[in-house]
A and B are shown apart, each in its own frame.
Chain A
Amino acid sequence: MTNDPVSERIQQEISANPVLLFMKGTPSFPQCGFSAAVVQILSRAGVQFKGIDVLTDPGLREGIKRFSNWPTIPQLYVKGEFIGGCDIVREMYESGELATLLTEKGLLAPAS
């Protein structure tokens, strides 16, 4: 699709990590309230995820916006699919859609 090295790296990360969050800061130390909110939601949902800190890499910070055609961070990917940012993840968590999605993708044991 593209020879852009940043896009290639993003694609590799997305392929290698079933639940991947591009964020500001790290899951332990988020540097932005919106990133922190998504970390908290994923933790509450009980799913394993990898966080990539875009603040350590300006190329990645701009590259992920181009890659997803989405102007803001955080950005959540599940099994290669772009899910959205903080608003969407929060809405999906509150409606139960996030748990359904994660369960369907085999990332979460079905609720007993």
Chain B
Amino acid sequence: MATVAGIEDKLKAAFQPIRLDIVDQSHRHAGHAGVRASVAGARAGGGTHFQVRIVAEAFAGKSRLARQRLVYAALAEEMAGDIHALALTALAPDEAES
């Protein structure tokens, strides 16, 4: 299953973020069709819905679409598998309020 630690490792390797916050929100979606469909999610009670806030130089000058595509690409394996939803905020350093 997808874990906060696993996602953190991949995003850190891909973007060397200045700031990275990941929250597993799967419990808020328990019983949801996508969660039931994921055996791992049902068994472990987590690992399907994540909220990510990432601040990295890599996003500077890039459109919202381009930023999300970069993050999705870094997490391609997880997006194709266990992750049902990823609420994402990707900011360049000068856009983040510390």
List the count of A-B residue pairs having beta carbons below 8 Å apart.
Answer: 35
In the docked arrangement, what's the CA distance between A86 and B64, Å?
A: 12
The DSSP consensus for interface residues of chain B is helix
Task: Enumerate chain A residues within 8 angstroms of B80, measured Cβ to Cβ.
Answer: 71
With A72-B79, A87-B64 already in contact, 20 other A-B pairs whose C-beta atoms are closer than 8 Å = A31-B33, A32-B32, A34-B87, A69-B69, A70-B69, A70-B72, A71-B79, A71-B80, A72-B85, A72-B86, A82-B65, A83-B65, A84-B65, A84-B68, A86-B87, A87-B68, A87-B88, A87-B89, A88-B65, A92-B64
A→B interface (CB under 8 Å):
31-34, 69-72, 82-88, 91-92
A and B contact pairs by CB, cutoff 8 A, 30 listed: A31-B33, A32-B32, A32-B34, A33-B29, A34-B85, A34-B87, A69-B69, A70-B69, A71-B72, A71-B79, A71-B80, A72-B72, A72-B79, A72-B85, A72-B86, A82-B65, A83-B65, A84-B64, A84-B68, A85-B68, A86-B87, A87-B64, A87-B68, A87-B87, A87-B88, A87-B89, A88-B65, A88-B68, A91-B64, A92-B64
